[in-house]
Amino acid sequence: MFKERKIKKLLKKASKQGLNSAIMTYNKILELDDSLAAVYNYIGLCYFELVDYENAQKYFFLSIEKFSDEFKSEYEVYYNLAFTFQSSSKNEEAEKYYKISMNLNKEYKFTYKNYAYLLFQEKRYKEALDMFEKYNSFGEEAEVYNNIGIINEELANKSKAIKSYEKSIEIDETYALAYNNLGVLYLNDKKYNDASKLFDDAIKFDSTLVDAYNNLASIFVLDKKYNAAISLYTKALKVSPNHLIILINLAKLYSYLKDKNNMILTLKKTLKLGYQIEKILVIEEFKSFNNLENELRD
């Protein structure tokens, strides 16, 4: 009875501690009783949060070894183990344990979601789509419909992609990524007014979404609204100063305006990021500038 009370007290203590201190407390519990599968699982989760995947896996496996009839969360340990392998880019092992987790508990929705991301990463799009749809059966999410839209694009199902992005926005009218992705589809279809509105909304809901600035600026460039485009690229660079694509596009814009000084200053920033002069010199917008190679090397 004394041991149980002490373990309960230590569990409460660990729940309020930082990760390293909690690990020490959990180990004190195991000194009292080394058969507690849940405690090994807790230690594994601490190591996972510390990005120490090797120790996390070790303790999840120890938890599995200690499974008993009283422990009802086997599926969660296998899920944690799978997620740890996935986070360390060991997808084959991750897939194995996601499947075990799903077989143990078909109602644990997070397994479907993370497994879907794994399948998407491996370009197994139809399988990923199936997993995302199973996850959505527990309650629809904007993020998931956005991912379904991306998959439908990869599968060349543009109409389904549009519907998925629209559904994402319907679920969460502030979900910026869906506005941007839908805008790109309209941009590709040359529906510039619709695309502009979507990119505007994306920026309104997420002022750090650099892709939306870049996409909206590209429409301004097509309309020859160069100053408006420069303003957008400048805002994007405040968010991400070393964004190579934005810098190259801004330099192109300066070339249209025959502003050689700013063009060269911007291109030199790309060189500091490792971009090669040889790649710059073959870009159409820069070919007409004499002595450009020497000025970039100064």
Would 71 be classed as within a structural domain?
yes
Measured between alpha carbons, how far is 63 from 200 in angstroms, rounded to an integer? 50
Measured between alpha carbons, how far is 204 from 283 in angstroms, rounded to an integer? 32
Q: Which pLDDT value is given to residue 263?
A: 95
CATH number at residue 82: 1.25.40.10
Domain that holds residue 24: 1-105
Would 200 be classed as within a structural domain?
no
Which residue reads 């502030």 in tokens? Answer: 174
Number of domains in the chain: 1
Measured between alpha carbons, how far is 213 from 103 in angstroms, rounded to an integer? 44
Would 91 be classed as within a structural domain?
yes
Measured between alpha carbons, how far is 158 from 203 in angstroms, rounded to an integer? 23
Q: Is residue 1 pLDDT above 70, yes or no?
A: no
Could you read off the pLDDT of 257-298 as tens digits, one per residue? 999 999 999 999 999 999 999 999 999 999 999 899 999 998
Q: How confident is the model at residue 120 (pLDDT cuts 50, 70, 90)?
A: very high
Would 287 be classed as within a structural domain?
no
Would 192 be classed as within a structural domain?
no
Would 195 be classed as within a structural domain?
no
Q: What is the mean pLDDT of residues 201-223?
A: 97
Would 123 be classed as within a structural domain?
no
Q: Is residue 2 pLDDT above 80, yes or no?
A: no
Would 101 be classed as within a structural domain?
yes
Q: Which pLDDT value is given to residue 69?
A: 75
Could you read off the pLDDT of 61-119 as tens digits, one per residue? 999 999 987 778 899 999 999 999 999 999 999 999 999 999 999 999 999 999 999 99
**What are phi and psi for residue 290, nearest 5 degrees?**
-70, 145
Measured between alpha carbons, how far is 108 from 100 in angstroms, rounded to an integer? 12
